[in-house]
Structure 1
Amino acid sequence: MSQFMEQFTALRDQKRHGEIIDSVPYAKLIGVEFGEDERGELLFSLPFTMRNVGNTTLPALHGGLIGGFLENAALLHLMWNRESLEAPKIVDFSLDYLRSGKASTLYAQCEITKQGKRVAHVLIEAWQEDRKKPVAVARAHFLLSTPS
Structure 2
Amino acid sequence: MSTTHPWLRQAIAEARAAGDPGRLAAAVPYAQTMGISLLLAPDGPHAGELLGVMRFGEHLIGNPVLPALHGGALCALLESTAIFQLLWESALSATPRTIGLTVEYLRSGRPVDTFARGMPTRQGRRVTNVRVEAWQDDRSRPIAVASAHFLVHSDEEPAKLES
TM over 0.5: yes
Residue aligning to 1:8: 12
Q: 2:76 aligns with which of 41, 51, 68?
A: 68
Distance 2:72 2:120 in 1: 23
User: Take 1:128 and 1:60, find their aligned partners in 2: how far apart are those partners?
Assistant: 12
| Partner in structure 2 of residue 28 of structure 1 | 32
- 1:86-137 Cα shifts (integer Å, max 9, x gaps): 2111111110000000011111111011101111000000011111211000
- Give SS of 2:31's match: helix
Off by >6 Å, runs of 4+ in structure 1: none
- Say what the alpha-carbon RMSD is for the aligned residues: 1.6
The corresponding residue for 2:94 is: 86
Gaps of 5+ in 2: 155-163
Cross-structure match for 1:113 = 121
**What's the counterpart of residue 60 of structure 2?**
52
* Maintained 8 Å contact 1:2/1:85: no
**Residue 77 of structure 1: CA displacement?**
0.5
- 1:40-97: CA deviations, max 9, x gaps? 1111111212121111111100110000111000000011011122211111111000
Matched, 1:96 2:104: yes
Cα pair 1:53 1:62 within 8 Å, conserved:
yes
The structure with the largest alpha-carbon Rg is 2
Do the aligned partners of residues 14 and 99 (structure 1) sit closer, same or farther apart at CA in structure 2, a change above 3 Å counting? same
Gaps of 5+ in 1: none
Deviations, residues 11-41 of structure 1 (Å, cap 9, x unaligned): 2232333331222121110111211113211
Give yes or no for contact 1:115–1:121 (8 Å, CA) kept in 2.
yes
Indicate the residue corresponding to 1:41 in structure 2: 49
1:144 pairs, out of 152, 155, 162, with 152
Q: Distance in 1 between matches of 2:82 and 2:28?
A: 13
CA contact (8 A) 2:104 2:146 kept: yes
User: In the aligned structure 2, how far is the partner of 1:28 from the partner of 1:118?
Assistant: 29
* Cα distance in 1 between the residues matched to 2:147 and 2:78: 9
Shift of 1:2: 4.1
Percent sequence identity is: 36
TM-score when normalising by structure 1? 0.91
